[in-house]
Chain A
Amino acid sequence: MPAPSRRGFLKAIGAGAGALVIGAHLPLPALAADAAPKIVGPADPRPQLFVIVAPDNTVTVLAKHLDMGQGIVTGLATIVAEELDADWAQLRGAFAPADGKLYANHFFGLQGTGGSTAVANSWDELRMAGAAARAMLVAAAAARWTVPAGEVTVAKGVVRHAASNRSFTFGELAEEAAKLPVPQQVKLKDRKDYVLIGKPDLHRLDHVSKTDGTAVFAMDIRRPGQVTAVLARSPRFGGTVKSVDDAAARKVAGVIEVVTLPVGVAVIAKNSWAAIQGREALKVTWDDAKSEMRGTDAMLADFRKLADRPGAVAAGKGDADKAIADAAAKGGHVVEGDYVFPYLAHAPMEPLNAVVALNPEGGCTIWAGSQFQTVEQMAVAGVLGCKPEQVRIETQWAGGSFGRRATTNADYIVEAAMIAKAYPKAPVHLVWTREDDIKGGRYRPLVLHRIKAAVDSKGAIVGWKQRIVGQSFMAGTPFEAVMVKNGVDATMVEGASDMAYPVPNLAVDAHTAASPVTTLWWRSVGHTHTAYAKEVTIDRLAKAAGKDPVAFRLEMLKDHPRLAGVLKLAAEKAGWGQPLPKGKGRGVAVHESFNTFVAHVVEVTVGDKGQFKVDRVVVAVDCGEVVNPDIVKAQMEGGAGWGIGHALRGEITMTDGLVDQGNFDGYLPMRMSDMPAVEVHIMPSHERPTGAGEPGVPTVAPAMANAVFSVTGQPLQTLPFSRGGIVS
């Protein structure tokens, strides 16, 4: 395989010859007993490379997953270091090369990061890799000392023979250990012996480089002779280039070339400023024949019309209509209404960008915060007419993603490759400006939920009808075959069609609305709206039934101990039930997403006109065995800020097909003064680890809405709340 050779790769990361390089090319043992997720992907054994013990006594863990802030490089290193019995101080992190055969995400069958899968997906193979490396170091020491391997111990990066009081560092054994056969069977540690996993005091591996300015993001790549490109794209979704007048652009000092491509008009310049100035001087006429010309108000009106008709069935049992009618007739209560969720941009702090250099032997090298390496390799191969494995990717630290970098067609990487193909003389750095990002689509879809539900006279939910209207970002992509079944995009209805509350008569259906506006998964995907619509409705039903919101939920979650567990934990830590001063309210929400269970209790102060301020956020999370508690805590803090910030003010709107927002002065981000205190409580668990990057998002906004509802009695059904005038 012409992908990075083992030797080349070792050289690239400075390990050199004589390093012990270990891949978990061991058969996955029978770990299924603890409810392993379904493993797909290439068959084992695989010659994977995960651990490099170098003669300089460093241990480098190669992360096949992108670190976009969620701390996965640290997480993966922790798993390896535990089984290796390394000293945390000797651990280093590096990104693995792009190779879908060696580094597939077992949940996807291709190399990629998403769905909060990274720890769950790497847990087995990295424990084995660490244990195998440890066994080889032990064997090397035992041979050197001519003692039985059973007498050799390892702790904190030191290999020891106690009886003779001799020891080696890992580095001293690296070269010899590398020559030994990889053991085909390894014994994994008992969790009671963990010294790193689950410990709160490990520092992130990137905490120094990200505080002294030395961490390198794709935006910071500077290749010899590199030029910078910005791209003029259609201001309307679906538009194409009709004609270009680039005379003025070419006169801008520093502009080198202007090229028209299927994706827009690229201005290539000596530096970013010249490229941006050059683009401003371009005169492009766009063909809007296939463009979205509606504004978001018109689109929403169309969604409401669609919601009057039955959609494709996502879940159905019993007879929801009859149950709701019966409840209404027999002393029960019905709640209904539309819930509206706006388009939302991801707006990662590092604007999208990638450097592409064509390789003399064919193919190219890409430097990017690459999240779907295999998809990018295939898409770029299509552009360049080369083989996917000729597309090398040097994955860099990513300045946020929130889903944006995991595109189904490698959009911005393809743009960069097209420009590099058109201008092969130098490495090309395609830079998106913030305006490109905010106006550039791939939004969390505009979504409408129409819900009608009823409790009977005893206060039990007897019927629930829910219709969801939105765009599918899976339709027309390679993911469609897996994600869209019977006309229903699973990512549109997840969290609704499979809700845990045992409603005897349930009808959930969905309409997929078509538009050229591009949409994409956005941190916690469908759960960003389904959890909100569900949990706000539950509070409305609880109120109608005269029940306490926590007690109401707990009654229904008897068969869901982990959901009930986090709900009880959050409620207890928040002091649920304790009286609050007038004008203050408490709200709760609980939800499962990505196999992780989260509950939020939010406290608010509400003013005379319904305007409110968030005072306190309490979150309880159960994500199974916790590798790095402090990182889980950080993800819950950040997830709360993400959820609150967008619920308060986040929205992308369009007028006549043109996006109204362009930067952070229009698309308003969460700022310091909005951020409440966040208390995180982690449920102790021995279950298999699950994700933490996304599950902290879905419940915070509905808990906040329910807190306001507890004071005002008015459910908040339209996001963002700034639309209702209750947020400044």
Chain B
Amino acid sequence: MISINVNGEVRQVDVPDDMPLLWVLRDELNMTGTKFGCGVAQCGACTVHVDGTPTRACQTPVGMLTAESKITTIEGVKGKAAQAVQAAWQKLDVVQCGYCQSGQIMSAIALLTDNQNPTDQDIDTAMDGNVCRCATYVRIRAAIKDAAQTMRA
């Protein structure tokens, strides 16, 4: 049994150490907001926060995490940055197919938690690991700026 802390709850899972956190969340805990997109940390659809750091769940063996590691998924994300980001996403109707957006939002929240006045370059750096095949990038950029403004106000 492995103990992990997901969204503030301690969960026991009976899986091999090398099972990526992605599949633990999706298949064992039925938390399907975190998405499978590539399996090799190339698309960012599986982005979660581990102790606040945006992390690709598909390349994080669950055995590497400790019971103290605080995992946050789209289902449990909260706080000022999360509120601002989700509100901006909704205000600007960023989503199209929506499949990558959990990961996009988790990356954006991490960016804005650290930096409430990101430049375009900062946004490129923080978001380049998150692929959107619908190419909603124009609106993602705008929404990040909108959320940053909300947070600064």
Taking Cβ atoms with an 8 Å cutoff, the residues of A that contact B are: 68-71, 203-204, 206-217, 219-220, 222, 228, 253, 271-273, 276, 347-351, 397-402, 431, 433-435, 630-631, 634, 637-642, 645, 663-665, 669-673, 675, 677-678
Q: In this complex, which of A208, A351, A638, A672 has the most chain B Cβ atoms within 10 angstroms of its Cβ?
A: A672
Say whether, besides A220-B32, A397-B97, A665-B40, A349 and B138 are in contact (CB < 8 Å): no
Taking Cβ atoms with an 8 Å cutoff, the residues of B that contact A are: 15-16, 19-20, 23, 26-28, 30, 32-40, 42-43, 45, 73-75, 86, 89-90, 93-102, 105, 123-124, 127-128, 130-141
In the complex, A663→B40 CA distance in Å?
A: 8
Contact B124 A271 (CB under 8 A): no
Partner among B34, B95, B128 whose Cβ is within 8 Å of the Cβ of A673? B128
Which single residue of chain A is at the shortest CB-CB distance from B24? A273
Contact B90 A211 (CB under 8 A): yes
Contacts of B73 in A (CB 8 A): 213
Contacts of A630 in B (CB 8 A): 93
Which single residue of chain A is at the shortest CB-CB distance from B42? A664
Contact B20 A349 (CB under 8 A): no
In the complex, A672→B103 CA distance in Å?
A: 14
Which single residue of chain A is at the shortest CB-CB distance from B74? A213
Contacts of A220 in B (CB 8 A): 26, 32
In the complex, A641→B133 CA distance in Å?
A: 8
Q: How far is the CB of B83 from chain A (nearest CB, A)?
A: 11
Partner among B39, B95, B140 whose Cβ is within 8 Å of the Cβ of A210? B95
Say whether, besides A349-B131, A641-B137, A642-B135, A203 and B37 are in contact (CB < 8 Å): no
Contact B30 A400 (CB under 8 A): no
Partner among B33, B89, B90, B97 whose Cβ is within 8 Å of the Cβ of A350? B97
Say whether, besides A204-B93, A350-B97, A664-B131, A213 and B33 are in contact (CB < 8 Å): yes
Contact A253 B16 (CB under 8 A): yes
In the complex, A253→B26 CA distance in Å?
A: 18
Contacts of A665 in B (CB 8 A): 40, 42
Which 6 pairs across A and B sit closest by C-beta, in order of nearness? A641-B135, A213-B33, A399-B99, A69-B97, A210-B98, A69-B96
Contact B133 A348 (CB under 8 A): yes
Say whether, besides A69-B134, A213-B33, A634-B136, A398 and B97 are in contact (CB < 8 Å): yes
Contact A349 B90 (CB under 8 A): no
Contacts of B45 in A (CB 8 A): 349
Which single residue of chain B is at the shortest CB-CB distance from A348? B133
Q: In this complex, which of B27, B100, B123, B136 has the most chain A Cβ atoms within 10 angstroms of its Cβ?
A: B27
Partner among A206, A217, A641 whose Cβ is within 8 Å of the Cβ of B95? A206
Say whether, besides A348-B133, A351-B36, A663-B40, A672 and B124 are in contact (CB < 8 Å): yes
Contact A271 B99 (CB under 8 A): no
A selection of 28 A-B contacts at a CB cut-off of 8 Å is: A68-B97, A206-B98, A207-B94, A213-B75, A217-B35, A219-B36, A219-B99, A253-B16, A271-B15, A271-B28, A272-B36, A273-B15, A347-B133, A349-B99, A350-B99, A400-B97, A434-B37, A434-B40, A631-B93, A634-B139, A637-B135, A637-B139, A638-B134, A665-B40, A670-B137, A671-B128, A672-B128, A672-B137
Partner among B75, B96, B102, B123 whose Cβ is within 8 Å of the Cβ of A71? B96
Contact A675 B138 (CB under 8 A): yes
Q: How far is the CB of B27 from chain A (nearest CB, A)?
A: 4
Which single residue of chain B is at the shortest CB-CB distance from A217? B99
Contact A219 B40 (CB under 8 A): no
Partner among A68, A208, A212, A675 whose Cβ is within 8 Å of the Cβ of B135? A675
In the complex, A273→B101 CA distance in Å?
A: 23
Contacts of B124 in A (CB 8 A): 672-673
Partner among B20, B35, B89, B137 whose Cβ is within 8 Å of the Cβ of A211? B89
Which single residue of chain B is at the shortest CB-CB distance from A273? B23
Contacts of A253 in B (CB 8 A): 16
Contact A273 B20 (CB under 8 A): yes
Which single residue of chain A is at the shortest CB-CB distance from B143? A211
Contacts of A397 in B (CB 8 A): 97-98
Q: How far is the CB of A71 from chain B (nearest CB, A)?
A: 7
Which single residue of chain B is at the shortest CB-CB distance from A208? B90
Q: How far is the CB of B68 from chain A (nearest CB, A)?
A: 24
Which single residue of chain A is at the shortest CB-CB distance from B31? A213
Knowing that A400-B97, A670-B137 touch, tell me 5 more A-B residue pairs with CB under 8 angstroms.
A219-B36, A228-B27, A349-B97, A665-B40, A672-B141
Contact A349 B132 (CB under 8 A): yes
Contact B135 A211 (CB under 8 A): no
Contact A678 B138 (CB under 8 A): yes
In the complex, A276→B19 CA distance in Å?
A: 11
Which single residue of chain B is at the shortest CB-CB distance from A215? B98
Which single residue of chain A is at the shortest CB-CB distance from B100? A349
In the complex, A105→B27 CA distance in Å?
A: 36
Partner among A204, A215, A400 whose Cβ is within 8 Å of the Cβ of B133? A400
Which single residue of chain A is at the shortest CB-CB distance from B125? A673
In the complex, A350→B16 CA distance in Å?
A: 25
Contact B137 A272 (CB under 8 A): no
Say whether, besides A211-B86, A212-B74, A271-B27, A219 and B138 are in contact (CB < 8 Å): no
Contact A638 B136 (CB under 8 A): yes
In the complex, A176→B35 CA distance in Å?
A: 44
In the complex, A217→B33 CA distance in Å?
A: 10
Q: How far is the CB of B35 from chain A (nearest CB, A)?
A: 7
Contact B99 A214 (CB under 8 A): no
In the complex, A213→B77 CA distance in Å?
A: 10
Partner among A272, A349, A433 whose Cβ is within 8 Å of the Cβ of B26? A272
Q: How far is the CB of B139 from chain A (nearest CB, A)?
A: 7
Contacts of B134 in A (CB 8 A): 69, 349, 400, 638, 641-642
Contact B90 A672 (CB under 8 A): no
Contacts of B89 in A (CB 8 A): 207, 211
Contact B33 A214 (CB under 8 A): yes
Which single residue of chain A is at the shortest CB-CB distance from B138? A637
Which single residue of chain A is at the shortest CB-CB distance from B85? A211
Contacts of A639 in B (CB 8 A): 135
Contact B37 A351 (CB under 8 A): yes
In the complex, A401→B124 CA distance in Å?
A: 26
Contacts of A272 in B (CB 8 A): 23, 26-27, 36
Say whether, besides A273-B23, A434-B37, A671-B128, A634 and B96 are in contact (CB < 8 Å): yes
Q: In this complex, which of B28, B43, B74, B137 has the most chain A Cβ atoms within 10 angstroms of its Cβ?
A: B137
Contacts of A671 in B (CB 8 A): 128, 131, 137
In the complex, A276→B16 CA distance in Å?
A: 14
Q: In this complex, which of B99, B139, B140 has the most chain A Cβ atoms within 10 angstroms of its Cβ?
A: B99
